[in-house]
Amino acid sequence: MASELENSIRSAAAKVAAYVADAAVMEVTTSYVVVGPTAGAETARPAAKTIIRLDGDCEATVPMREGPGGILEVDRGLFEIHQANVATATEYRARVLGALIGLLQRR
Amino acid sequence: MNAVFTVIEPLPAAIAPPGPWRAQVVGSSFSLGDQPDVIWQAHLPADPAAAQAALRAAAAQLEAQEAALATVTQRLQRVASGAISFSSALPPAEQALLSMLPAIQPEGASFGLGDTLQEWWQAAQEQIAALSAQAREVLGGYATVETVQSGRLIGRTRINWHGDARSLLIAGIDPAHAALHQQTLALALRSRAGLLRLIGLVGRGAAIAATMVAAPAGAIMVLPAVWQFVQEVLAEVRQPMV
């Protein structure tokens, strides 16, 4: 049991090291697909995607829909949902990293 | 219908993470790299206001537990410093810790633990082992978060600790339903990160409590006692979900 804990801490330390090493190429990706009420019954359709790189690059695929007169416009509702998801994913990543750092603090 | 928050764990044993979640162990066997997702499922009532209220209550419960956990280190330090001594006026967490520590002193009952204490010790060790496995799972696998309202799946997100996420939403989802899934997702991820925090807290707590034990392997010996202390602190703020 004690070795379980030690292994966890060692594993966490290794993960932190790997995390830092990969920092330059880290990506946060959120993809949305829209399906019908019976999941899988309809073909999943990509709606929005965001890729963030730590060197400052950010790539976003924005959901569009046909508006009045056939003009394409941003699907704001869907985009807002997507943005909220990006924020949640980013916060989660920060929380886990914070917890990992906490794992390495003995006192 | 009351809201039900369930974590479906593929591990053979699991403890309930911080927050409103109940752990449901399915215990399938799997090899490394072929690990099934942990599924975090919120079953919400049909009434939108009731669903929102349930999620708010769940978030408040998690916040209260996080606040309680934030006091653990300081409370342990007070005990370790000798600033407090055993008294019936102490909170149950401090009482339990102070009554257990003598049992693991070299001159104490550790070499002749009573059956009840030994059983408890074994159970605590198994829980810590389960927590360790869950923490490794947080770092190594994906979580699937599902929001079910009135028996209908309205959103599903699969996410790993890097933040890579993929969400499935019902076609034409309205902002209110999207918000329900968003809140469920945020709640689940906060609790999931809380598992890592919990294991760090127990490790640090053991280092503090070890200063009260003369046994050579103090930090290891006191782990179950510190785990119990953390459970007692959580019990101070835990309340059944309505």
| pLDDT score for B49 | 94
Q: Give the residue from B137, B142, B147, B164 with the most A CB atoms within 10 Å of its CB, the best one to mutate.
A: B164
| pLDDT score for B116 | 67
Q: Is residue B66 part of a domain?
A: yes
Give the highest mean pLDDT range of A11-15, A57-61, B12-16, B219-223: B12-16
A24: confidence class by pLDDT, cuts 50, 70, 90:
very low
Name the 3-class secondary structure at B38. strand
**Record: contact B128-A4, CB cut-off 8 A:** yes
**Record: contact A85-B128, CB cut-off 8 A:** no
Question: Cα separation of B50 and B45, whole Å?
Answer: 6
Q: Which residue has better confidence, B53 or B211?
A: B53
Q: Is residue B80 part of a domain?
A: yes
| pLDDT score for B198 | 92
User: Which residue of chain A comes nearest to B186, CA vs CA?
Assistant: A88
Q: What is the DSSP letter of A74?
A: E
Residue A77 has pLDDT above 60, yes or no: yes
Q: Which region among B26-40, B51-65, B155-169 has the lowest average model confidence (pLDDT)?
A: B26-40
Domain total in chain B: 1
Q: Which residue has better confidence, B58 or A76?
A: B58
Q: State how far residue A72 is from chain B, nearest Cα, in angstroms.
A: 18
Q: Would you tell me which residues 193-232 of chain B have a C-beta closer than 8 angstroms to some C-beta of chain A?
A: 193-194, 196-197, 199-204, 207-208, 217, 220, 223
B242: confidence class by pLDDT, cuts 50, 70, 90:
very low
Give the highest mean pLDDT range of B86-90, B98-102, B197-201: B197-201
Q: Is residue B169 part of a domain?
A: yes
How many beta carbons lie within 10 A of that of residue B73, not counting itself?
A: 16
Structural domain that includes position B165: 4-237
| Dihedral in degrees, nearest 10, Cα atoms B200, A85, A24, B160 | 50
β-bridge pairing B165-170 and B143-149: unpaired
- Across chain B, the runs of DSSP E, i.e. the strands, are 4-9, 22-25, 38-44, 143-149, 152-159, 165-170
**Record: contact B166-A11, CB cut-off 8 A:** no
Residue B78 has pLDDT above 70, yes or no: yes
Q: Is residue B42 part of a domain?
A: yes
Measured between beta carbons, the chain B residues lying within 8 angstroms of A33 are 166-169
Selecting from B133, B164, B178 the residue whose C-beta is nearest the C-beta of A81 gives B178
Q: Look up residue B177 and give its amino acid.
A: H
Q: Is B169 on the interface with A (CB under 8 A)?
A: yes
**Record: contact B163-A44, CB cut-off 8 A:** no
Q: Would you tell me which residues 15-74 of chain B have a C-beta closer than 8 angstroms to some C-beta of chain A?
A: none
Q: Which residue has better confidence, A56 or B195?
A: B195
| pLDDT score for A2 | 54
Q: Is B128 on the interface with A (CB under 8 A)?
A: yes
User: Which residue of chain A comes nearest to B211, CA vs CA?
Assistant: A107
Question: Cα separation of B24 and B207, whole Å?
Answer: 31
Q: Is residue B242 part of a domain?
A: no
**Record: contact A5-B128, CB cut-off 8 A:** yes
Main-chain phi, psi angles of B30, to 5 degrees: -155, 155
Whether the complex's predicted ipTM is more than 0.90 is answered with no
Q: What is the mean pLDDT of chain B?
A: 86
Rg (CA), chain A: 19
A22: confidence class by pLDDT, cuts 50, 70, 90:
low
Per the CB < 8 A criterion, the answer to whether B58 and B20 are in contact is yes
Residue B187 has pLDDT above 90, yes or no: yes
